[in-house]
Amino acid sequence: MGEYLLEVQGLKTYFKTKAGYVRSVDGVSFGVRPGEKVAIVGESGCGKSVTALSIMRLIEQPPGEYIDGSILFDGQNILDLPERAMRKIRGGKIGMIFQDPMTCLNPTMTVAQQIAEGLQIHLKLSRGEAHRRAISLLEQVGIPDAAKRANSYPHQFSGGMRQRVMIAISLACNPKLLIADEPTTALDVTVQAQILELISGVCHDFGTAVILITHDLGVVAGMTDRVVVMYAGKVVETAPTDELFANPRHPYTLGLMASIPRLDEARTSDLKTIEGAPPNLIQPPTGCPFMPRCVFARNICRTMPPLEAVAGQSTHVKACWVDVTDPQTREQAERRRLARMELKQGIIKEAALQTAEEK
């Protein structure tokens, strides 16, 4: 697919606190090719949004610090650019859809003014041209009666319509890359599907590359070309979307897959979860950060595994010492999982009996 449009190499973004540095993004590397749709997935707190904000250079300093690494966009390391040069890229060549449009849109400006602002700054359009272009963009993202609604304020729109306005703003200057950070948060299921379909369709029309950040693997299954799985600030697996769903190779990815509810199993099995909690990012564990929660864990996991290609799959890489496809290994892991569940249920029952006796 050609050279990378965006290439993140060894990125480390930490936050300084009184207790020490929070290693929110700790050595992340991945790339996005022109026109490619890449998903970054993982549970809350794994570093997805901080990675996105780092690419946009929107991390507040202090407390945030870019400790190490590089972010190459169109061959330039944007971490080395002065803020004035970064402003030409931000909103121009790179657009971003934030999680909550209500807090991102200016309540004192009409939606047309907010779209036109970027057009006047980056494309040097006149006020009249920018206003007409704003109306056209609102029509493209499905705002009914766009000419009239262009003069409305954000509070006069529903949540789904506000998110459509955010999409119009982010795509106004025909960016090469669009970052969508949880673009369907707080929207109902029907509107979620409409928003995702809109992003996919519009970006296809413009030839825009997309980074979709989400914790929901089901959302990315039919929309993206490749998936980057993050855990505790690190990339643990990367593969083409179809390959990842068909052949996950990291225990954390297996856990995410298993946690997706299935209609054919709804009445026959309990919802599977990943036991335990993410590690403390101020004092992360040595070795693999997923080891304390992993049913596949071995002594070798006390040493951090490198991110290496899966045998016979140059586009599929994982950071794990264990072959999770080995039948004996999977059988042992399942026994460990069941043993942990029995122990947990025993602790819950004991606590319930103790509470009953105290009453």
| Measured CA distances, 232 to 64, 122, 257, 259, 279 (Å) | 17, 36, 18, 18, 7
pLDDT of residue 1: 42
Q: What is the mean pLDDT of residues 324-331?
A: 79
Give the confidence band of 316 by pLDDT, cuts at 50, 70, 90: very high
Q: What is the mean pLDDT of the chain?
A: 85
The listed range with the strongest mean pLDDT (189-193, 278-282, 349-353) is 278-282
Q: Fill in the DSSP letter of residue 158.
A: -
- 176 torsion bin: left (phi>0), alpha (psi -120 to 50), beta (else): alpha
Give the confidence band of 2 by pLDDT, cuts at 50, 70, 90: very low
Q: What is the mean pLDDT of residues 105-113?
A: 89
Q: What is the pTM of this model?
A: 0.86
Give how far the C-alpha of residue 57 lies from the chain's centroid of Cα atoms, to the nearest Å.
16
pLDDT of residue 269: 60
Q: What phi and psi, each to the nearest 5 degrees, are found at residue 109?
A: -120, 145
- Does residue 318 register a pLDDT over 90? yes
pLDDT of residue 274: 82
- Does residue 189 register a pLDDT over 90? no
- 3-class secondary-structure state, position 86: helix
Q: What is the mean pLDDT of residues 330-343?
A: 74
How far apart CA 170 and CA 311 sit, in angstroms, is 40
